[in-house]
Each structure stands twice: as C-alpha cells, then as structure tokens.
C-alpha cells in the first residue's frame, strides 16, 4: 500500500486482513512510546519527511497524523492556512504539490474540499517520477479512508469482531464522507445489517445504498434500537448550497440519554467528530459513547498508514489511467461486392450509399446529434454530404442512429471518443474502392467525452486535470475517476 486515496481502491482482504491487523499492531507500539517512554524503533529515520497539507478545517485528523509523525521521529512540514501560501494568490493544486515534492516530501497527507484532488495529485507525482505516498485525509463529500481504518480498529477493539453485527448511521448521510468510506469497507463483510436514519435532505446517495442488500431506512432514531454500533454524523453545513434545505436538515436527529437508554445493552456510539447537536452533552461522557477511544485509535492507525506509505513509496500504483480503445476490422471487401450485397438485402434502406467516406453505424438512439456536435467542434465536418439518420430499426438493439459522412475520414483518437460516447458503434470506411467495417472496443475507463457535472470535482478546479469516467457493468452509468460520483451517460455527454 503506497497511496491511500479511496476505500474503493482496496479489496476486502487488504482492508480486513492486512490494514486493520496492521493498525492493531501499532496499538502496543503507541502505548510503549508515549508517556516519556519513547523508544527508538526500526522505522526511525529522521530524514523521512511528511508534508501535512490541510486545505479544509481539521482538528483530529491533522493532530493525530502529526502525533503519529512525531512518534516515528520523522521530519514534518505543516502547511499553514492556504491563504498564507501562494494558493491564496491563485496557485494551482498541481503546482503547489510539485513544490512540496521538490522539497523532499516522502509522504503527502492532504485534505481538500475539492473531490478527487488527491487522486489527481498522486497521478501527476508518479508521472513526473516522484516517489511520494499520497494519503487522503478527506476530499470534500467523497472519501475519508484513514478515518475508516481507525473506525474499524475501534469497532474491533470494542466489539471484538468486524462481521455479524448491525450498524446504524444517523445524521448527514448525504455529505458525510466518513460514512461513505466506512460503508464501502463494510460492504466486503458478511452479515452486516445497515440502518440509515436521516432527513430527506441528508439521505445517503444511491451509489452507497446499492452496496448492501440488507438496509432499513427511516427518519426516526428509534430505528436504531437493536444496533450493536450507532454511528452519528454532523450536518455538513459548509457543503449545503441551499439554505432552506440546510435549515430543514438541521436539528432533527439528537441522541439524548432517554433514547440511548432505549437501545441495545452495550451499544457502542461512535461519531467522527466534531458533533454539533446530534450528541447531547448529557451523554458525552457516557461509557457507551466511545468517541475518545475512537479519536485515540487515529494515532496507531495513522502510524500504520505513514509506515506503509513510506515503505512502498517507490511502487507504481497509478497504472491504467489512460483510456484505451482497440480497433478490429470485422469486414474487408471490395466496394462492388459491398454494393451487390447491399442491394440484395431485404432490409429497408435509409440512406443513399456513398462511394467515399465514413458511415458511423449502430449509434445509440439519440446520440448521433451529440456525436455530430463533437465532430463539428473538433473541425471534422468540413466537406461532403452529411446525413444524420435517427431512430432506424436495428437488428442488434431496437433502434439506432446513423451518421453518413461523405469524403470524411476520422483519426483514431476521434473514433475512440465516439466509441466512448456510444460503445456499440461501428465505422464503415469506404476508401479507394474498398469497404471496411471497423469495430471499436473501449476500455472501462473513458475520456474525452465531456465534463464531470460535479462543480467540486478536481477536473473542474485545476486546469491540468482532465475528466475521465469508469463505465458501470451495464454501461448506463459512468462514475468519475476522480470525484467518484456516479452519473447517467446523458448527464455527461
Ligand atoms: C470528519 C471529517 O472531516 O470528515 N471529521 C474527522 O475527520 N474526524 C467529520 C466532519 O467534519 O463532520
């Protein structure tokens, strides 16, 4: 493990058989080195340097990372408030990171409000030959993977197991990144039942809900009465654009002593903190409310993260970040032969054949117009007759669109983008008396097809970050490679 960017990057085996046991091992280490009993450890290497770049507010994550850093005896640089750095003068994230790389950073711990910034940063550092571990200390509403490691360590130490339990989440499930990450990890476990308690304004996004088959949902804290673990989340005021929506979301879900007393005996109440109203002062020091244990678990967990990151910092992890398209020739015949076949076909003919140019066939219904727009914008529709034919009955899918481009031949890069827009297309290329039918197979990572609709995505906030998407198995949804949000194809293209 070199980078820690998203829980989604790890398999269940890695999380539960390597990372959590690794964090647990550090518990003894932390106990032995704190309280004036500091011991030199094998990892001690004073030249190691960690840069802590917190572009969003933080108490626990930053302090525990710094404490972990100090207990390892490593050098550190804590970047001051971003307005006191050149970022306050408009310097980009990419250029800021390059500077810390030049100043000998081995590990970059980074928090940002921009989603996907850490993945972008890890990619450019690797491409430019730096050997640096990038650790995501929270990116906007997306992920907070190291919080998940400490949450799992807390549950393991207090409950004694990481499967067969019922966990209830309450509060802001829409924007609470610690909840998103924890759910992604728990989705790998057996027999985890999940209860979600929120207001409609703060409900969990569908992309996390679909990770579980066993979910109960509602808006009352009573629903949590038989949970082994109850996990609260602050209403993320800073992320609400709509003040009305925010006001409605505020203040509804408060865990009081009376409610807590109605819960399962031995329930464990967790919260990543800070909390505002959702944990009432009367229960703050109740022994069922294990917030302080949870916070402490941040130290061993982050020692593990720093050590692992340093040990593996020269690995290459950001492979396969280039969208690829493969072209295969499915038919190759003389034009006369093609015309003969075509005239004997019973199928209705929707366009007059051309003797030179490209026919883009099997375009998903409704997408020909988008492809034409793309070709226009890239200067590929200069000469010749162009026909756009929509809603043609098709053998393979019910209806298709077709684009006929006389005397126009397209470069491979352009064809890859078209194949990304509509994966089933074929290119019929008619040139010098020869007809070729070419099929394009795109990888699951696609680029060049449009912008990420999320305004907080790094691709909308750093001029060097280009949008890329992963296709869902059905192909209907695309998830952003950086901010990890899922969208319908039409929202992007
Ligand atoms: C949280 C965070 O920053 O996501 N806190 C933390 O890291 N322990 C929760 C929050 O801000 O509400």
- pLDDT, residue 294, reads 97
Ligand 1 in contact with 111 (CB < 6 A)? no
Ligand 1 in contact with 146 (CB < 6 A)? no
Ligand 1 in contact with 234 (CB < 6 A)? yes
Mutate to test the pocket of ligand 1, among 64, 109, 176, 178 (most ligand atoms within 8 A of CB): 178
Between 474 and 129, residue with greater pLDDT: 129
**CA dist 200 to 141, 144, 183, 252, Å?**
17, 23, 19, 11
Ligand 1 in contact with 302 (CB < 6 A)? no
Return the residue whose CA atom lies nearest to atom 6 of ligand 1: 272
- pLDDT, residue 476, reads 75
- pLDDT, residue 39, reads 47
Mean pLDDT across 98-110: 95
- pLDDT, residue 384, reads 63
What pLDDT digit, counting tens, does each position of 28-38 carry? 888 877 764 44
Specify the length of the chain in residues: 493
Return the residue whose CA atom lies nearest to atom 8 of ligand 1: 272
Which DSSP symbol is given to 281? G
Helix (H, G, I), strand (E, B), or coil: what is residue 32?
A: helix
| Residue 478 phi, psi dihedral angles, 5° rounding | -125, 135
Q: Report CA(273)–ligand 1 centroid distance (Å).
A: 6
Q: Report CA(145)–ligand 1 centroid distance (Å).
A: 11
- pLDDT, residue 394, reads 78
Between 45 and 452, residue with greater pLDDT: 452
Ligand 1 in contact with 273 (CB < 6 A)? yes
Q: Report CA(149)–ligand 1 centroid distance (Å).
A: 14
Mean pLDDT across 144-153: 98
Mutate to test the pocket of ligand 1, among 111, 144, 149 (most ligand atoms within 8 A of CB): 144
Rounded distance, CA 374 to CA 49, Å? 46
- pLDDT, residue 37, reads 46
248 pLDDT above the threshold of 80: no
pLDDT band at 320 (very low <50, low <70, confident <90, very high): low
Rounded distance, CA 227 to CA 230, Å? 6
Ligand 1 in contact with 321 (CB < 6 A)? no
Rounded distance, CA 57 to CA 181, Å? 19
Rounded distance, CA 117 to CA 137, Å? 11
Q: How many percent of the chain have pLDDT more than 90? A: 67
Report which ligand 1 atom has the smallest distance to the Cα of 56. 3
332 pLDDT above the threshold of 80: yes
What pLDDT digit, counting tens, does each position of 387-403 carry? 788 888 877 768 889 99
Ligand 1 in contact with 63 (CB < 6 A)? no
User: Each residue of 79-102: b (16+ CB within 10 Å) or e?
Assistant: beebeeeebeeeeebbebbbebbe
- Please state the pTM of the whole predicted model: 0.85
Ligand 1 in contact with 144 (CB < 6 A)? yes
Q: Report CA(38)–ligand 1 centroid distance (Å).
A: 30
Ligand 1 in contact with 136 (CB < 6 A)? no
The residue to which tokens 């020692």 are assigned: 303
- pLDDT, residue 379, reads 85
Report which ligand 1 atom has the smallest distance to the Cα of 298. 8
245 pLDDT above the threshold of 90: no
What pLDDT digit, counting tens, does each position of 38-47 carry? 444 545 576 8
Ligand 1 in contact with 148 (CB < 6 A)? no
- pLDDT, residue 383, reads 66
Mean pLDDT across 361-380: 88
- Across all residues in the chain, what is the average pLDDT? 90
Q: How many percent of the chain have pLDDT more than 70? A: 95
Rounded distance, CA 409 to CA 380, Å? 8
| Residue 222 phi, psi dihedral angles, 5° rounding | -60, -25
Ligand 1 in contact with 271 (CB < 6 A)? no
Report which ligand 1 atom has the smallest distance to the Cα of 137. 7
- pLDDT, residue 4, reads 98
Mean pLDDT across 90-101: 94
Q: Report CA(331)–ligand 1 centroid distance (Å).
A: 57
Report which ligand 1 atom has the smallest distance to the Cα of 57. 3
Closest to 146 (Cα-Cα) out of 121, 178, 107, 183: 178
Mean pLDDT across 281-299: 96
179 pLDDT above the threshold of 70: yes
pLDDT band at 239 (very low <50, low <70, confident <90, very high): confident
Ligand 1 in contact with 178 (CB < 6 A)? yes
């Amino acid at each position: 493990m070199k980078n820690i960017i998203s829980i989604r990057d790890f398999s269940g085996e890695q999380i539960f058989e390597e990372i959590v046991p690794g964090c647990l091992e550090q518990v003894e280490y932390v106990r032995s080195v704190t309280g004036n009993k500091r011991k030199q450890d094998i990892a001690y290497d004073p030249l190691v340097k960690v840069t802590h770049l917190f572009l969003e507010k933080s108490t626990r994550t930053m302090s525990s990372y710094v404490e972990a850093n100090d207990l390892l005896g490593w050098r550190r640089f804590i970047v001051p408030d971003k307005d006191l750095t050149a970022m306050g003068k408009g310097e980009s994230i990419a250029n800021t990171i390059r500077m810390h790389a030049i100043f000998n950073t081995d590990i970059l711990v980074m928090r940002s409000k921009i989603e996907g910034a850490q993945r972008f940063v890890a990619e450019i550092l690797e491409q430019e030959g730096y050997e640096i571990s990038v650790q995501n200390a929270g990116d906007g509403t997306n992920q907070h993977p190291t919080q998940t490691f400490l949450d799992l360590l807390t549950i393991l130490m207090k409950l004694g197991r990481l499967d067969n339990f019922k966990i209830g989440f309450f509060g802001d499930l829409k924007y609470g990144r610690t909840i998103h990450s924890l759910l992604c990890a728990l989705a790998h476990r057996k027999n985890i039942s999940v209860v979600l308690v929120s207001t409609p304004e703060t409900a969990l996004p569908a992309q996390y809900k679909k990770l579980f088959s066993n979910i109960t949902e509602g808006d009352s804290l009573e629903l949590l009465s038989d949970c082994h673990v109850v996990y609260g989340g602050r209403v993320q005021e800073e992320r609400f654009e709509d003040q009305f929506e925010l006001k409605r979301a505020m203040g509804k879900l408060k865990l009081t002593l009376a409610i807590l007393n109605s819960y399962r005996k031995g329930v464990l109440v967790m919260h990543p903190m800070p909390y505002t109203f959702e944990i009432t002062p009367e229960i703050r020091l109740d022994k069922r409310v294990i917030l302080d244990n949870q916070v402490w678990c941040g130290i061993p967990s982050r020692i593990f993260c720093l050590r692992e990151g340093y040990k593996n910092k020269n690995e290459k992890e950001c492979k396969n970040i280039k969208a690829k398209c493969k072209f295969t020739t499915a038919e190759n015949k003389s034009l006369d032969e093609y015309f003969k076949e075509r005239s004997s076909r019973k199928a209705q003919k929707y366009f007059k054949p051309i003797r030179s140019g490209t026919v883009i066939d099997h375009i998903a219904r409704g997408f020909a117009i988008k492809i034409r727009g793309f070709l226009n914008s890239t200067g590929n529709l200069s000469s010749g007759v162009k026909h756009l034919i929509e809603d043609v009955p098709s053998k393979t899918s019910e209806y298709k669109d077709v684009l006929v481009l006389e005397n126009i031949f397209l470069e491979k890069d352009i064809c890859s983008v078209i194949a990304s827009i509509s994966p089933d297309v074929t290119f019929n290329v008619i040139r010098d008396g020869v007809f070729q039918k070419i099929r394009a197979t795109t990888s699951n990572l696609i680029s060049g097809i449009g912008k990420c609709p999320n305004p907080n995505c790094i691709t909308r906030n750093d001029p060097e970050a280009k949008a890329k998407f992963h296709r869902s198995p059905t192909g209907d949804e695309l998830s952003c490679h950086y901010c990890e949000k899922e969208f319908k194809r039409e929202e992007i293209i």
